[in-house]
């Protein structure tokens, strides 16, 4: 019996032909940290826009008052822009290709771009806990944690990770 006949007789043993696309349960926290930093800078700018009026002569002298008004409007505008741009980032889509033994993090948008790309043998390691898979970068940082609900896809993924030596 040939390899092909054996594989087609047991379809649950074949790796899925399409990559498994799933939403990350948790991803590296760099994006969230950047949003928090932007919000803190925006709050500091708003505070500066208000405190600039406490400077002596900012109300009584017309030229200084105009400069204070322009500065406070500028600071408030920049702060508003930072607050708008620091919205909660959407988590990336994660494609896990068990046939090619690789994982890709894709940014969402009109034209998704690859944020990270790792072959299973280049991963730091991977962990399997029931339906949840946790992938770690080679430097030890968290890459992604995903839930795979399809039992056949989960078995194929677990087998591919074991073959690559990434599953602990």
Cβ neighbourhood burial of 12 (10 Å; 0-12, 13-18, 19+): exposed
- Of 101, 158, 133, 113, which is closest to residue 26 (Cα–Cα)? 133
Q: Are residues 79 and 131 in the same domain?
A: no
Q: Are residues 144 and 107 in the same domain?
A: yes
Could you tell me the CATH number of the domain that includes residue 141? 2.30.29
Tell me if 29 is assigned to some domain.
no
Q: Are residues 56 and 103 in the same domain?
A: no
Q: What pLDDT, on a 0 to 100 scale, did the predictor assign at position 104? A: 84
Q: Which domain holds residue 62?
A: 34-85
Q: Are residues 42 and 16 in the same domain?
A: no
Give the count of beta carbons closer than 10 Å to the beta carbon of residue 17: 8
Q: Are residues 95 and 159 in the same domain?
A: yes
The last residue of a domain, from among 65, 85, 105? 85
Q: Are residues 77 and 131 in the same domain?
A: no
Q: What pLDDT, on a 0 to 100 scale, did the predictor assign at position 89? A: 63
pTM: 0.53
Parts of the chain with a pLDDT under 70: 1-31, 88-89, 109
Q: What's the number of domains the chain is made of? A: 2
Q: What pLDDT, on a 0 to 100 scale, did the predictor assign at position 41? A: 93
Q: Are residues 113 and 150 in the same domain?
A: yes
Q: What pLDDT, on a 0 to 100 scale, did the predictor assign at position 60? A: 80
Q: Are residues 41 and 15 in the same domain?
A: no
């Amino acid at each position: 019996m040939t390899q092909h006949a054996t594989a087609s007789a047991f379809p649950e043993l074949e790796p899925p032909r399409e990559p498994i696309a799933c939403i990350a349960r948790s991803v590296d926290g760099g994006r969230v940290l950047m949003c928090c930093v932007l919000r803190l800078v925006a709050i500091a700018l708003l505070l500066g826009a208000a405190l600039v009026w406490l400077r002596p002569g900012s109300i009584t002298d017309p030229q200084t008052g105009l400069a204070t008004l322009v500065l406070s409007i500028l600071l408030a505008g920049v702060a508003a822009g930072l607050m708008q741009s620091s919205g909660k980032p959407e988590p990336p889509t994660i494609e896990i290709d068990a046939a090619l033994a690789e994982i890709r993090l894709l940014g969402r948008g009109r034209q998704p771009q690859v944020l990270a790309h790792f072959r299973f043998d280049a991963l730091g390691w991977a962990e399997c806990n029931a339906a949840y898979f946790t992938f770690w970068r080679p430097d030890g940082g968290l890459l992604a944690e995903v839930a795979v609900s399809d039992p056949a896809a989960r078995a194929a993924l677990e087998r591919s990770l074991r073959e690559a030596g990434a599953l602990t």
